[in-house]
Amino acid sequence: MLLAIDIGNTNIVLGIFDGETLGQSWRLATRHEGTTDELRVLVGRLFEECSLDMKQVSGVVLSSVVPPLTATVTEMVRQAFRQETLTIDAANAGLPIRYHAPEDVGADRLVNGLAALTLYGGAGRPVISVDFGTATTFDVISGAGEYVGGVICPGVEISADALFLRAARLPRVDVRRPDHLIGTSTVASMQSGLFFGYVAMVEGIVARLRDELGGDEPAVCVATGGLAGIIAGETSAIDHVSPDLTLHGLRLAWRQNTEVSHD
């Protein structure tokens, strides 16, 4: 079994693969002060609850955008699984990178692009992966299979928090789809602006990316992250929704690296 771990600013996501099949996954809140011992106990309980044998894990692959936790999780893996972790970065993500500073690209963005290209690309068609996380990221893979860059926007929750913090008379609201575009109360008006404004932003950026990329066929757009399914239901800009895109990208990066090492 392969254990894939993605450490994000909001969540740590873990997935267990048996071959290409994702058998089980878990989403934990990211705690920057979490210790190796705490994580080891927590992960052990998760495996126990699902009747999984930790000794069956034969490989571990990791992406992280929280450097202080990278070492903590790597040490947890050594203690709990007796394995060394393959940490994905620009050097081993499996994509040629045309970014001015390749080391600046988050590993999650790279594996999202790799998974979108491998699972949904083809025939020289460019691919756009959109990840609705703490930030919303748009990552572009060219028709030649190269990571060429992308767009980073505030996540919708960040936008909602900014409205609450910067406007004294506006309340904190949950981000959800309102029943009507025209709000008839302050809360409904804010929800409409946040939700439909976000949909319009996604549509606009994807359309502009497709125009800039050109080609005989428009780029394929694949979405992942918390709001992916909801946003995709409001727009034709998104072609596919893949909730586990990052985990599959980690699996693919692991496979490429282990095939190279075996060769």
Structure tokens at 244: 């586990």
Report CA-CA distances (Å) from 205 to 104, 130, 144, 197, 218: 22, 10, 21, 12, 13
Q: Which long-range contacts (CB under 8 A, 24 or more apart) does 42-48 make?
A: 43/14, 43/76, 43/80, 44/80, 46/14
Active site residue 161: no
Instruction: Select which of 108, 161, 174, 239 is catalytic.
Output: 108
Q: How many CB atoms lie within 10 A of CB 257?
A: 17
- Which amino acid is it at 258? T
Which residues are CB-contacts of 12 (< 8 A; sequence separation ≥ 6)?
5, 6, 27, 28, 29, 30, 69, 73
- Which amino acid is it at 39? L
Q: Is 193 exposed, middle or buried (0-12, 13-18, 19+ CB in 10 A)?
A: middle
Tell me, what DSSP letter sits at residue 237? S
Q: Are 122 and 135 in contact (CB under 8 A)?
A: no
**What positions carry a catalytic annotation?**
108
